[in-house]
Amino acid sequence: MNHQTIQFETRGGIGIMTLNRPERLNAINRQMIDETKELLTALEKDDSLRVLVLQGAGRGFCSGFDLKDGAAAERTGIAEWRPVIERDFDFIMQFWHFPKPTIAAVHGAAIAAGCELAMACDITIADATARFGEPELRFGSGIVALLMPWMAGPKKAKEWLLSGFDRIGAEEALSWGLINRAVPAGEHVDAALKLARDIAVNDRQKVAMVKQAINRSLDIMGFREALAMGMEMEVQIEAMDTPEGREFDEIVRRDGLKAALAWRDARFDRT
């Protein structure tokens, strides 16, 4: 496959997928969504693949969905927003539902949908440079895949999501269950590959069945229904017309996205 926004290689039954838009901190655009779906659909049928490791090229893991794409498409109303949010939700959750184990190897920024993507992988390993968070409410959006309450619990999820805090370090993320391991800077990929090799030596079909059983146990507790509710809430949030949302959009149209983000940040004490 000839992809531009992602790269893929295999090492002895371990697949390494790299988000490859380093000039945009690996922001997720429509092309990346389409190329990832194509790759994962093919890998589902590849019996030689035992484990998939996901990493980001350049300075960070992923900065979320590309805001430039969103700003360029002027959508209004639930009917226009629902297919977009459903597409974004499916992009994140395909790593959760992928039949083979997925491991996120995180460095630098894992923000907004990038944070959700790291949580959607079965196992997440982050190095000391990693920074997690979901600042969506700060620019008038909601949460596409509401995974954080399931990982960190409702109290911490409310603190982080309602404030839009996006500077959660690896050690704090570890203490609240957002990640599995925190490792020294630059060691995230090696640690992920070592764990992938430990998983890969086990029976492929039985590993897949145990992953499925764990996921289904969460479904019994309401996981799938809760995420569907959260996605529907995000559709409604995006379709809402509020004074702050109108002002943000007007600044985007008049002065560009960078100016709108500066206006957003200037309203908060960043110290």
Establish whether 38 is a catalytic residue.
no
**Residues sharing a CB contact under 8 Å with residue 149, sequence separation 6 or more, in sequence order:** 157, 226
The catalytic residue among 35, 134, 136, 238 is 136
The catalytic residue among 9, 35, 74, 116 is 116
Establish whether 238 is a catalytic residue.
no
Catalytic machinery residues: 116, 136
